[in-house]
Amino acid sequence: MVHFYRAEVSRSTAWRSRLDATTNWAVLTCAGMLSFAFAGEHHSHILLLLTNLIVLSYLLIEARRYRYFEVYRARCGCSKKIFYCRSSPASSTLRCAIGG
C-alpha cells in the first residue's frame, strides 16, 4: 500500500510540474512578444493579437492538464485516508468518518 501511495504522489508531482511548465511558456511568450512589439516603430502591433491567441491555446492546454491533476490529487487523498484508517488503532472511528 505504501508503494501505491508513493506512486500516486509521484504522479501528482509530475502533473504539477507540467502545469508550471505551461504557465512559464505563457509568461515567456507574453514577455517576448511585448518586448518585440514595442522595441521598434516599424514592428506591427498585430503581434499582440497573435500573442493573445497563443496564450489562449496555453490556457486550454493548462485547463486540460489541471483536470488530470485533480484526478490524481483526489486518488492520492483517497488512498491516504484509507491507509491511515487501516493503520490507526482507532480505526473504527476513522472508518466512520470517511464512510468506509
The predicted structure's pLDDT at residue 54: 93
Per-residue confidence (pLDDT) for residue 1, from 0 to 100: 65
Q: How far apart are CA 43 and CA 36, in angstroms?
A: 8
Q: What is the pLDDT of residues 4-57, one digit of tens each?
A: 777 777 877 887 787 888 889 999 999 999 899 888 888 888 888 999 999 999
**Higher pLDDT residue, 55 or 73?**
55
Cβ atoms 59, 88 nearer than 8 A: no
Please state whether the predicted TM-score (pTM) of the whole model is above 0.85: no
Q: Give the CA-trace dihedral at 90, 95, 98, 99, to 10 degrees.
A: -160
Is the model's pLDDT at 67 over the cut of 80?
Answer: yes
Task: Give me 13's grid cell.
Answer: 508531482
**Which is more confident, 34 or 93?**
34
CA of residue 66 relative to chain centroid, distance: 4
